[in-house]
Amino acid sequence: MPVNLVPTKAEELLPVKGVALGVAEAGVRKANRKDLLVVRLADGATVAGVFTQNRFCAAPVILCKEHLAQVRPVRALVVNTGNANAGTGEDGLARARKSCAELSALLGCDSAQILPFSTGVIMEPLPVDRIVAALPLALADCRENNWANAAEAIMTTDTVPKACTRRTKLGGKSVTVTGMAKGAGMIHPGMATMLGFVATDAAVSRDALQKMLAQATARSFNRITVDGDTSTNDSFILIATGAAGASAIDSERHPDYAALAAAVTEVAVWLAQAIIRDGEGATKFITVQVQGGKTEGECSQIAYAIAHSPLVKTAFFASDPNLGRLLCAIGYAGIPDLDVGRVKLYLGDVLVATDGGRNPAYREEDGQRVMQQSEITVRVELARGAAETTVWTCDLSHDYVSINADYRS
Amino acid sequence: MPVNLVPTKAEELLPVKGVALGVAEAGVRKANRKDLLVVRLADGATVAGVFTQNRFCAAPVILCKEHLAQVRPVRALVVNTGNANAGTGEDGLARARKSCAELSALLGCDSAQILPFSTGVIMEPLPVDRIVAALPLALADCRENNWANAAEAIMTTDTVPKACTRRTKLGGKSVTVTGMAKGAGMIHPGMATMLGFVATDAAVSRDALQKMLAQATARSFNRITVDGDTSTNDSFILIATGAAGASAIDSERHPDYAALAAAVTEVAVWLAQAIIRDGEGATKFITVQVQGGKTEGECSQIAYAIAHSPLVKTAFFASDPNLGRLLCAIGYAGIPDLDVGRVKLYLGDVLVATDGGRNPAYREEDGQRVMQQSEITVRVELARGAAETTVWTCDLSHDYVSINADYRS
């Protein structure tokens, strides 16, 4: 059961002109489930991407970077679940290339104009022939009003599809931003086991789009963690078709840049938070704010020390205000000159610790009251500077262990 | 149920002349359990200590460092479980000082000659009056042949007491090294939620003893992880009484240094591995070896990326050779120039991955065979240098979550 996550209704997911999506059942790993998605882009669409930092990055990630570096425009994306095509060496690259080549042949373009994505089990050969066989079915299904099916087709251990839409006005013209993502485990700041696809019918140059994507990522997918595992396949793609007819945003200084960037970031934050709300086994959604740091980097170190601590996460699962574990995590976050006597720790609105120890006015029942909630904010004040950061995580439950012990079986 | 850990029988724990141990039931947190230990040291004993790097280190850790920095010899140790006296600010320091002062009054020494230790719940006031009230009982119980009771008195979530003995010859004289430790969760390389006490009747100068302790720690307690949480209270103490009458080891160059250091390290490694074998919820004991690195530091980064990964640890729990998760962890360990095409991954004696992907000769049943075992070695060859390291960890099971969700209740 995801935590306070109401999936967006299919009719509320607005199509983006110039982006057609089609799904099929390719039988990559299991029969009778949507596991293949093709996204066709109209002429003139620009595409930007950010990818995992994992050195064992997947074959499709390598190809995506290669293809995005080319001059020719991207014409289509092909996404499969059930198999990550990661840790598969040269053979994996050849299989990813084959899926691009076959799709490009069907579309009459060059294979470098296709971006491939895979997610699922690592280190197993991609059954590319089954994918190729299903491509015509996915193409036949392609239509603009198909985001709900597409969001379902990219799910792995997700329990609900994750997609949302925002609208904004650019110079008097209405534009749409619609996005979807998948991911529930192997989720880490740099980014997450996730695939994310956001499209807009605004017109944006390649460079401006890449900047917008980087900014949105920094505030969304790079602020979440379920288990601290950085996936081999993380990819987040931003598409701008220009079909709405608004003036082309060619740089950060364009008057419409900020408004569109805000809408894109809003969609990305919604999707990133949805991933945490649907985190494997999650029963609580936890916001960790660290304020008053010297640098944003040290705020992040402390925020992630808290967000990664299995002891903190099991305490949240148990609704047990065993809050010494939070102090402990702050203490080992690796800030050598941290003066713990100046640190303040809040749980929701309750001041738990101050002056290096428990707040004398703290009462266990106050902590207990906050711990019972399904949305909890932990706030740490360092009192050594003006930097701050926020990250989102979930608790660690029995179901996390069950899901990951049983994933392949 | 600890993994292949046979507790040492009480009669096999050899006393160390000059070290007398006494336990009592102080009722620190729960009634009717041994939760207080006093260790008296004979005249002439030297003592060395290493402590947690956590910035929220416990009040007793602060006092231990302060007292060890003094010239006067340590006369006694006082250890309580049930309460960590960490995250307790100035009040916590005052309470720790009081327990030292009361014990020193009973012994007729200065309070700076007492080393205090606490372990248990963080951020709650230490019930020092109960400890003080029980000190005479613990003192009355003091005897050299009491290691088994002492090892039991320092347990928290440990399921078995952890203690062992080694003997060695120094210049024809037999000496004894006996040690005990506690710890099961909040265990991390720098060091572990652990208390460790090792004593020998060899004679060693303060400086040489501190070096020997640092070396033993680097090879034992700093090589283990259960959950990546570095405790507030980690302390590891080495005592040399000199009562065996062997010649005094005054430096690393002394002919007996190496033999004694080897015995101390052997005891420390046994205790460190015992902590992992009794790790919270552990069902498997996992050795992670990383070889062929440029530096020991990068080998450690990779070894701990594997040892900390919840996905790797749940796969071990499930005996599921979902070994792509191991490649994934190697990939995100943070070695930016790692050539994954040269990495070899072994599970036991089975070559799983090579040339950036799965070994073509690898068969799932071979991986499955190793995964079923309760002692598993993961070996990673990086082929980029001569450095190597080994760390020990356990799997992540339902019981880890249960134990830590319920710890305080």
Would the CB atoms of B121 and A90 count as touching at under 8 Å?
no
Contacts of A409 in chain B (CB under 8 A): 318, 320
Element (H, E) at A292: strand A285-293
Residue B107's pLDDT is: 98
Which of these, A95, A158, A102, A101, lies nearest to A128 by C-alpha position? A95
Would the CB atoms of B55 and A409 count as touching at under 8 Å?
no
Q: Which residue has the higher pLDDT, A233 or B279?
A: B279
Region A359-363 average pLDDT? 94
Residue A192's pLDDT is: 36
Q: Going by DSSP bridges, is the β-strand pair B76-83/B36-41 parallel, antiparallel, or unpaired?
A: antiparallel
**B190 confidence band (pLDDT: 50, 70, 90):** very low
**B230 confidence band (pLDDT: 50, 70, 90):** low
Residue A55 touches chain B, beta carbons under 8 Å = yes
Of A53, A54, A324, which is closest to B121 when you measure between CB atoms? A324
Residue A193's pLDDT is: 56
Query: How do residues B214-224 score in pLDDT, each as one tens digit?
Result: 999 988 888 88
Would the CB atoms of B311 and A55 count as touching at under 8 Å?
no
The segment with the largest mean pLDDT, out of A191-200, B2-11, B135-144, B321-330, is: B135-144
Query: How do residues A176-206 score in pLDDT, each as one tens digit?
Result: 999 999 987 655 533 335 899 999 999 999 9
Point out the residues of B that are catalytic: 193
**B231 confidence band (pLDDT: 50, 70, 90):** low
**A228 confidence band (pLDDT: 50, 70, 90):** low
Find which of A56, A61, A380 to mutate to test the B interface (most B CBs within 10 Å of its CB).
Answer: A56
Which of these, A9, A19, A5, A69, lies nearest to A198 by C-alpha position? A19
User: What are the structure tokens assigned to A203, written together?
Assistant: 């017109």
User: What are the structure tokens assigned to A166, written together?
Assistant: 């925002």
CB–CB of A335/A298 below 8 Å? yes
Q: Which amino acid is at B249?
A: I
Residue A194's pLDDT is: 80
Which of these, B32, B62, B44, B60, lies nearest to B126 by C-alpha position? B60
Would the CB atoms of B228 and A87 count as touching at under 8 Å?
no
- The pLDDT mean for chain A works out to 91
Residue B226's pLDDT is: 60
Q: Which chain A residue has its CA at the smallest distance from B319's CA? A: A405
Contacts of A330 in chain B (CB under 8 A): 55-56
pTM for the model? 0.83
Please report the number of interchain residue pairs, chain A to chain B, with beta-carbon separation below 8 angstroms: 229
* Domains present along chain B, CATH in parentheses: 10-277 (3.60.70.12), 285-406 (3.10.20.340)
- The pLDDT mean for chain B works out to 91
Residue B158's pLDDT is: 87
Of B55, B318, B327, which is closest to A405 when you measure between CB atoms? B318
Point out the residues of A that are catalytic: 193
Q: What is the DSSP letter of A46?
A: E
Taking CA atoms, B345 is separated from A122, A231, B310, B362, B378, in Å, by 14, 18, 19, 11, 7
Those residues whose C-beta lies under 8 Å from the C-beta of residue A55, and which sit 6 or more positions away, are: B330, B331, B332, B333, B335, B336, B338, B340
Contacts of A123 in chain B (CB under 8 A): 323-324, 327, 353, 357-358
Percent of chain A with pLDDT strictly greater than 90? 72
Q: Measure B286 CA to nearest chain A CA, in Å.
A: 16
**B206 confidence band (pLDDT: 50, 70, 90):** very high
**A409 confidence band (pLDDT: 50, 70, 90):** very low
**B83 confidence band (pLDDT: 50, 70, 90):** very high
Contacts of B315 in chain A (CB under 8 A): 404-405
Those residues whose C-beta lies under 8 Å from the C-beta of residue B339, and which sit 6 or more positions away, are: B384
Of A231, A396, A406, which is closest to B328 when you measure between CB atoms? A231
Region A339-344 average pLDDT? 93
Residue B57 touches chain A, beta carbons under 8 Å = yes
Would the CB atoms of A86 and B327 count as touching at under 8 Å?
yes
Would the CB atoms of A54 and B332 count as touching at under 8 Å?
yes
Q: Which residues 94-153 of A have a C-beta within 8 angstroms of B? A: 121-125
pLDDT-wise least confident of A223-227, A248-252, A354-358: A223-227
Q: Which chain B residue has its CA at the smallest distance from A404's CA? A: B314
Query: How do residues A281-318 score in pLDDT, each as one tens digit?
Result: 889 999 999 999 999 999 999 999 999 888 899 999 98
Of B123, B125, B185, which is closest to A311 when you measure between CB atoms? B185
Residue B228's pLDDT is: 56
Would the CB atoms of B90 and A124 count as touching at under 8 Å?
no
* pLDDT at residue B405 is higher than 90: no
Residue B80's pLDDT is: 96
Element (H, E) at B290: strand B285-293
Q: Which chain A residue has its CA at the smallest distance from B338's CA? A: A55
Of A125, A232, A397, which is closest to B331 when you measure between CB atoms? A232
* pLDDT at residue B407 is higher than 60: no
Q: Measure B409 CA to nearest chain A CA, in Å.
A: 8
Q: Which residues 186-225 of A have a C-beta within 8 angstroms of B? A: 186, 188, 190
Phi, psi angle pair for A110, to nearest 5°: -85, 150
CA trace torsion B268, B269, B272, B273 (10° rounding): -150
Query: How do residues A32-77 score in pLDDT, each as one tens digit?
Result: 999 999 999 999 999 999 888 788 888 999 999 999 999 899 999 9
Q: Which residues 62-101 of A have a C-beta within 8 angstroms of B? A: 84, 86-92
